[in-house]
Chain A
């Protein structure tokens, strides 16, 4: 099996400082943010309120009810096609796409669904980013300047409409911020896409990116469409970088795949770096997790393994989406791959009670950390995002956005104690 890869340029602009002002713009490494202007620009009928606030590393702030993280990107060759399918435009037909990206800044949409009366108590777990204190290093976004978009759904708006509005608003702000670079140049440009021919003697390794899409607030989107009917398929890794895969799933934040993860997936970058050196990057498979029935799980696992086989993979790396149910999808996929003679490793998080599921074939696992470990109590000066933020209480790692993400994007692992 072969597939073509798009050529894509990523031009990165480092931001060292974010300053609130009357106009949104950029002065070298300083990003100027007009918060009220951005909030107005985010206006959506399904939202009663949208406010923007800047928080910075070191601020004694806990951001609560965090839904997602988005890296500011803009399609420099066609800004209207940024985040295709969500903000408009489409991917197809792009002659030579170029993305301008801000480094060091993240857009964090937040919404208190429960306060809005749209979900019940305990339906969604608390989701935090701490900008200081012992939890700061648990979320990768504790060390970036964050543009927090706080949204309040309009009375009577459906969950689906409110969520779609919030996702659009967050992506728009990300595009607006990155658009401050449109007339600028940078030396930090990398190309993704076509890979050079590699020594055929090197082992071919593929990656399987697991996502899930179960309904409003638990969806993943490709070109703006949910992936509820996804069957495993080979995709161009450059599509992720281009912002075609976006997150709308807000279950356990520690193991949540955010849009930012998809925009710059560490696993793809690492495989592309290793391509031609220690391995051949055989391809990327997008696969469903959180499947409802034993038969669907078996079918999904077998289909992923069959695709890996067609890609000629000798080795495979499986990522996992969230925790619980999806770990069974991962384990069955490992078993299906191993049964075809494909050496497999999988990324999974742990709990205080071990793994949620395990098969004997899963003899080569990467731990992305123990999601149950308590982070020492901390009392922030301010809560941004609503609620009491459990200030002054020890909080389990799993409540920190992206702390134990099972895509390979995090540094955490767990060891015996």
Chain B
């Protein structure tokens, strides 16, 4: 069993805020709270650490280094934190957990339920809830150690209610004794008898439309699309489907989006016609015309883009909220959102 522990600069003993830009570093054996995990029965083979600011400002580079070390060590389980109420540390734990989860590595983390790391982990980690302060260490460590030990040895882990970790928002696969067809017949017959049951109960989220703009001729309007419109060559590698990221690109003083400069990487429709005129994906030409005619105030000088193919509602919601925050902070009054 190989166990790896991720901590920030403070818990690695590198220093406080003055060491927050510390580059990734690794130590044999436990550091800081890792010793408490060892005392709780979880051996720590390797500790990897990174400064909180360094991770936030150089996420891709730090992740690449940490993931390489963890992969080289052959981790059976990775423990992240506890990060308690620290936003930057929690975020780093969550992102690392998410990436490890995508590689099939089990992760246990510990943080406050409102930590940004919970959302960032996208359900990849078993997250033990903690208090906001380090005083919660004593309560968190036994459960973290227990979960990590069992995950590393392939033993089953119970439900969130049974174990005490935060619900991951995940749905795990199990084999039913009945085929889907038989279950469907059972459900429809029950429904006909007045007993409405379901195997999936998604949240219902209805968004009320906002009030009309009081005066569009003074409005700052942004262009946002899920059409997968990116600069030629897709320099930031926007996924063609299943995207969970959005990107932004400067518009500058362009009057339109020329086909030699922009392309759609969207895998959900035939892009041939759209790529002959990317303005049909992001209608910059029409928006400029409306500004020239005095019907819109200004066009925000960046457009936002992602690929809307097989994108779950929860991921779309998160991306929309993130883009919304950016636009609101920039003083944008309205958005033209183009879909495919």
Contact = CB atoms under 8 A, between A and B. Distances in A.
Interface string B227-261: 00000000000001100000000000000000000
A315 B314 CA distance: 30
Interface residues of B, number: 52
Contacts of A267: 181, 184
B181 A266 contact: yes
B314 A354 contact: yes
Contact of A411 (B122, B175, B202, B241): B175
A417 to B, nearest CB: 4
B176 interface: yes
B180 A364 contact: no
A203 interface: yes
B329 interface: no
Interface of B: 101-104, 122-123, 159-160, 167-168, 170-185, 187-189, 191-192, 196-200, 202-204, 240-241, 267-269, 309-316
Q: Is the interface of B mostly helix, strand, loop or mixed?
A: loop
Contacts of A370: 170-173
Interface of A: 122-123, 137, 203, 205, 252, 265-267, 269-271, 274, 278-279, 292, 314-317, 323-325, 343-345, 347-348, 350-358, 360, 363-370, 373-374, 376-377, 393-394, 397, 406-417
A123 B203 CA distance: 32
A137 B173 CA distance: 12
A358 to B, nearest CB: 5
A271 B183 CA distance: 11
Contacts of B197: 364
A416 B180 contact: no
Contacts of A367: 171, 199-200
B190 to A, nearest CB: 8
Nearest to B181: A408
Contacts of A413: 173-174, 176, 180, 183, 199
Contacts of B267: 122-123
Contact of A122 (B188, B203, B240, B311): B240
A266 B312 contact: no
5 nearest A-B pairs in the assembled complex, by CB-CB distance: A353-B312, A394-B104, A408-B181, A414-B171, A353-B314
Contacts of A410: 179-180
A316 B199 CA distance: 17
B180 A350 contact: no
B187 A417 contact: no
B313 A415 contact: no
Residue of B167, B312, B315, B316 with most partner-chain A CB within 10 A: B312
B199 A365 contact: yes
Given A408-B184, A417-B170, A376 B104 contact: yes
Given A352-B122, A411-B175, A416-B159, A269 B188 contact: no
22 contacts: A205-B189, A252-B310, A267-B181, A270-B181, A292-B269, A316-B188, A343-B192, A347-B180, A352-B314, A353-B315, A360-B204, A365-B199, A367-B199, A367-B200, A373-B171, A394-B103, A410-B179, A410-B180, A411-B175, A412-B180, A413-B173, A417-B167
Given A278-B189, A323-B310, A350-B200, A416 B184 contact: no
Contacts of A269: 181
A414 B104 contact: no
Residue of B174, B197, B315 with most partner-chain A CB within 10 A: B174
A324 B197 CA distance: 24
A364 B171 contact: no
Given A345-B188, A366-B199, A367-B199, A356 B176 contact: no
Contact of B312 (A352, A374, A407): A352
B170 A352 contact: yes
Contacts of A252: 310
